[in-house]
Amino acid sequence: METNSRSLRTILFTHLGLGIILWVLLDAIACYFTALYFTNLVYDKWLLDSTSSLVKAVHVGNNTIQFDLQREAIDMFRFDENDKTYFKISSKRRGYIAGDSGLIDSAYTNEEPQLTYSYFSGSKIRQATIHQNFQNIDDTAIVTVAETLIKRAKLTDEILIAMIAPQLALLIGALFISWLSIAKGIKPLTDLASAIESLDQHNLSPVSLDGLPHELRILSTRINDLLQKIRNTLESQKHFISDAAHQLRTPLAAILLHAEQAEMAQSSIEQASSLKSLHNSVKRAARLSQQLLSLAKSEHNSAALEEFSLFNLSSLARQTAEDWIHLALDRGIDFGLNVTDQNVLIYGNERLIGEMLSNLIDNALQYVGLNGTVTVKVQYVNDLPCLSVEDNGPGIPHSERDRIFERFYRIPGTHHDGCGLGLAIVEEIATVHDARIFVSSGLNGNGSIFSIYFKRPSVNNSGAYQ
């Protein structure tokens, strides 16, 4: 596991935190422009009022536009604690009349008051212009009042500073609440992670579903199912190992005993008998270890699947049956092969299927008894490839038909040598091939028939057999 990986809480908090910070920043910018807008609105109204008051000092005298305002009044007008105030009176016909001649009149000529930004003496200014029409002399007075922007900027800054503290408090509060909410929200997940972390081969107890949200409930149920499977597998492995050890102990103890008897034999006849028993025990131990190995190799694993290929079941049955002819002849058994002429193709592990058939033939030859009949068949049954081994021996009682596939199980009263693993191997191999096994009785209810139904090979989307 990557130890320096970031926690889910940190990842969520980073994303949410960045989102909140961005949001508060945007909010601050929006607030700044709102403050600016309303500041301008207030000061623009004052500016227009000042301009209107100057318009009142403009009148007609001697057929020309005149501007009459005492010097003191003008000084009063210009007085401002923060900003510089400028004004200019001019007439359309005569041009400049009074005030700051450098002010540029607004280009608009309609009679509505105008508010514009401009520059004067190197500073940015806000200026208001009013056109006053005097029809009797056919002239227009242009009255412009302007001011620098210091108090506007000051007020905007003050509003902004007043806003920063609550915005910061909002930000810290939102981040804190997010951190707590994330911690609370992912608590079931962190609890589940620690419950899973505490699992090991000695503790595979199911994780608790109490208080888990829906999604984690699904995950935990799945984990619990897997844990149950692991527990079952470990349990059956434990049984298997103890059974195997127990089964091996019997022939090994017998080997020891017969070897000692052979050593201490008083006569050559006694010694020969002990050596014969020793040989039988060694054979039994060898058979058991061979069956154990076969079982291990048959288990569902990737190695078994890697050896899958398309092959003809009929040819495999012929080759495998040949290996057993001599034994069948020795025992006087009528051993027959009934294989269809057509190719019976299946997709599987040829070696394992050969092993499966060998175990079935081995059982049939073993349990059919002297002068019995054993037949190996390969045919299509209901369009499915079917391999069967039939004998006319004692048969298998209905009550035993499931149990005979258990590991080390032998029907009580079975006297022939064996370790009870042959059919467990057959079942493992059938599982690997997704094949189904049926046990039935032969004609007139005599003997037994073991039939294995395989799937017909098919081609998947990528053109491979399955």
Ligand X SMILES: Nc1ncnc2c1ncn2[C@@H]1O[C@H](COP(=O)(O)OP(=O)(O)OP(=O)(O)O)[C@@H](O)[C@H]1O
> Going residue by residue from 255 to 294, which x/- string records binding to ligand X, judged by CB under 6 A?
--------------------------------x---x---
SS3 175: helix
What does 396 interact with, of ligand X, Mg ion, none (CB < 5 to 8 A by kind)? Answer: ligand X
Among 353, 421, 432, 435, binds ligand X (CB under 6 A): 421
Q: Are 114 and 143 in contact (CB under 8 A)?
A: no
The nearer residue to ligand X, 113 or 420, going by C-beta atoms, is 420
Residue type, 88: K
The nearer residue to ligand X, 322 or 402, going by C-beta atoms, is 402
Among 294, 363, 388, 451, binds Mg ion (CB under 5 A): 363
What does 393 interact with, of Mg ion, ligand X, none (CB < 5 to 8 A by kind)? Answer: ligand X
Whole-number Cα distances in Å, 45 to 26, 50, 114, 145, 232: 29, 9, 12, 12, 86
What does 248 interact with, of ligand X, Mg ion, none (CB < 5 to 8 A by kind)? Answer: none
| Subset of residues 21 to 60 that bind ligand X, contact rule: CB under 6 A | none
What does 419 interact with, of ligand X, Mg ion, none (CB < 5 to 8 A by kind)? Answer: ligand X
Run of H or E including 119:
strand 114-120
What does 411 interact with, of Mg ion, ligand X, none (CB < 5 to 8 A by kind)? Answer: ligand X
d(CA 210, CA 213): 9
| Polymer length of the chain | 466
CB of 400 to ligand X, least distance (A): 7
Asked if 295 touches ligand X (CB under 6 A), the answer is no
3-state SS string over 68-90?
CCCHHHHHHHHCCCCCCEEEEEE
d(CA 43, CA 317): 105
Among 414, 431, 440, 441, binds ligand X (CB under 6 A): 414
CB of 187 to Mg ion, least distance (A): 57
Tokens at residue 285, please? 């131990």
Residue 456: phi and psi, rounded to 5, are: -75, 140
Among 20, 97, 212, 364, binds ligand X (CB under 6 A): 364
The nearer residue to Mg ion, 363 or 451, going by C-beta atoms, is 363
Asked if 442 touches ligand X (CB under 6 A), the answer is no
d(CA 258, CA 413): 25
Asked if 396 touches ligand X (CB under 6 A), the answer is yes
The nearer residue to ligand X, 146 or 333, going by C-beta atoms, is 333
Asked if 422 touches Mg ion (CB under 5 A), the answer is yes
CB of 280 to ligand X, least distance (A): 14
Per CB under 6 A, the segment of 23-31, 155-163, 242-250, 362-370 that binds ligand X is 362-370
SS3 180: helix
Nearest residue to ligand X, scored by beta-carbon proximity = 422
Whole-number Cα distances in Å, 195 to 79, 205, 207, 225, 383: 78, 10, 6, 15, 51
Asked if 377 touches ligand X (CB under 6 A), the answer is no
Q: Are 143 and 128 in contact (CB under 8 A)?
A: no
Residue 68: phi and psi, rounded to 5, are: -120, 110
CB of 434 to Mg ion, least distance (A): 23
Maximum distance among all Cα pairs of the chain, rounded to whole angstroms: 168
CB of 289 to Mg ion, least distance (A): 15
Asked if 448 touches ligand X (CB under 6 A), the answer is yes
Asked if 363 touches ligand X (CB under 6 A), the answer is yes
3-state SS string over 338-370?
EECCCCCEEEECHHHHHHHHHHHHHHHHHHCCC
Per CB under 6 A, the segment of 202-210, 253-261, 264-272, 356-364 that binds ligand X is 356-364
Asked if 354 touches ligand X (CB under 6 A), the answer is no
What does 404 interact with, of Mg ion, ligand X, none (CB < 5 to 8 A by kind)? Answer: ligand X
Q: Partners of 372 in the beta sheet? A: none
The nearer residue to Mg ion, 192 or 423, going by C-beta atoms, is 423
Q: Which long-range contacts (CB under 8 A, 24 or more apart) does 96-103 make?
A: 97/65, 97/66, 97/67, 97/141, 98/67, 98/69, 99/144, 103/127, 103/144, 103/146
The nearer residue to ligand X, 85 or 250, going by C-beta atoms, is 250
The footprint of Mg ion (CB under 5 A) covers: 363, 422
Question: Which residues of the shown chain bind ligand X in the complex (CB under 6 A)?
Answer: 287, 291, 359, 362-364, 367, 391, 393-394, 396, 404, 410-411, 414, 418-424, 448
